[in-house]
Structure 1
């Protein structure tokens, strides 16, 4: 046999062994219905003809639904997830969804899609910290000016909108301090002036809010959190009204943001149990929050579903429930006399807990605790209260979580009492 002649399989008249291992099992056409979609792991998309490839390329460029030429534009799994996001987040509204590799990627992609040098951006003062860092960093370098507004401003936002204002960026409740914004009032004023509205809908999605009923143009989702629900993936998304889709899709394609099939499958799986999980988070968090409200060490509990919250009426009007995330403010007398003593006491409260891990994220099955450091993250409405501690109440038994926090308060008291006195 000539050395360039392909080897034959002596046991068959079919293709050579190296061809067979490439080809085998790729033409399984039988229809077997399963409860869940499979996980599509793919990069290459194949076409029936050159004409088919050309048509798919043009449709993908236009952002047509389910059009793709490569996994960066979509696979069956990622397209199914995008459809599900739009259906769950925006029922009754014509919206599309684009997937991003993280919540922060969704935020930055959405802002970059609609902002240009010289534009003015209005952002809630209680926004997620990395959003502020992106606005003050990259957007500032690109010539976009960000102005932070008091999250309780409501319809007063009209006084801050300028001719060059392009976006009002909301987050309700706010990070760490949990202010509820009058989102419908803000959207009315922004829409009347041709300004786009975007909301970070992390706290209440996918069960407890209907942001497009409030009037927003885009809802930004950290699918890492309750959508996935198990602290084992990173993903974000932007759900946006159809009329704004082409501009968002252009940015998505030019920036090359996309997600993998396995993570898309995990989010779809998590979505099936999101309702029951979030109801459990809600009930447990309320029980813990009410217990904290009666503790002598606690000055206030920042939970929108509590009647004591300053914007409780707005929460009750707009939201269908509450998640597992809230903060509480500690009284000054719960700490030592100096800053170092206060830090030791705070560490005693948070460290060594059996059921509360120390972690920045939230929205998974587990409970977390984290002191807030927001001194540099508030400019329009600086925090005037005492030290804040943020909790995410997971799916553990609330009595066990309460006992764990009670042990933390006792540890904090011992550290305070053992501190040397001046």
Structure 2
């Protein structure tokens, strides 16, 4: 049985995107490998805070039906460069019970293992749901700070939490909380400032995500606020040169208890739209590495909405903050033009029977050697299609019909193609320097 310190998956724990049924062999093997990762590896694989994606990768592979042999191969490729979980700066669990010590250790990766042990102990005593409500959703200064850190690191802690909840693994949830504790607080400061501004505004906007993307692109001060040399284009660009403009637009996307389900679907569709349509013809089709995280995290919000232990107000807040950050992410890449025709006219690289349909796309993705970003992206696009089914051709749904499988093909074709796998900051010409010109393709 799964616990805060033990990972245990069954053939019923396969997540929200179904592809192929799983086997007991794969369930056993993925549990063993995730346990090894949990016990032996740090959440960052280097001192610069680059993330260990093994849990995301293996759970995605398992969820879409990859066999044990594939799961083992992908694990071996990525376990080789991880660093040890423990550091020379361990803090005792009892010490972290002190608010002063806990706060002093926040934002420091060397305390990851200490935080992991702390949250496991808490979850064993109180249950993971109660720990999440205490540390993320209590609505006090301490939990607001921690919730902001969950959105840090380009959404990695939130993605990790989503996987833990989706696959019913408290140990992965403990990893997510420990990871959040190791991130800084600049993202949270922006989110709290946007929330405060929204509460102060007596006029409630009805604008859609897509409308706001267009308005951000037209605002030259905001859309050019980030510069190529900024180390972090949100923190050092948007929030330095155009913070008021960013908050003005972000707070016009409004989530309420009444529209929560529809706004969740709108967010999912819109993140897929701005991630897939941000192309730069005649260059190769590539996906922006930062937009991708907005898309990959979108899959978890319907799951959050299903949690009975989470209040409606906190479900609204989770989604509202996601919108604030997504819009800032779009602005931070210099708000590139969104070319829907790049999706609608896309000709898949492989038109053999099955290769360009979802089962074939997913199998090609699990054969692809990377750290898991590609198959997470494909799964999130497929989830978008499933989520959109009940809404039809509503105005805010830019992605619809045949476009879903086209984007799936764009994902696998782009990473199988030569050159770098991802574009970095698509609104900057410098980001495309390494990509070849590609011939224009006729509509089909």
- TM-score band, normalised by the shorter chain? under 0.3
Structure with larger Rg: 1
Q: Which has the higher strand share?
A: 1
Q: Which has the higher helix share?
A: 2
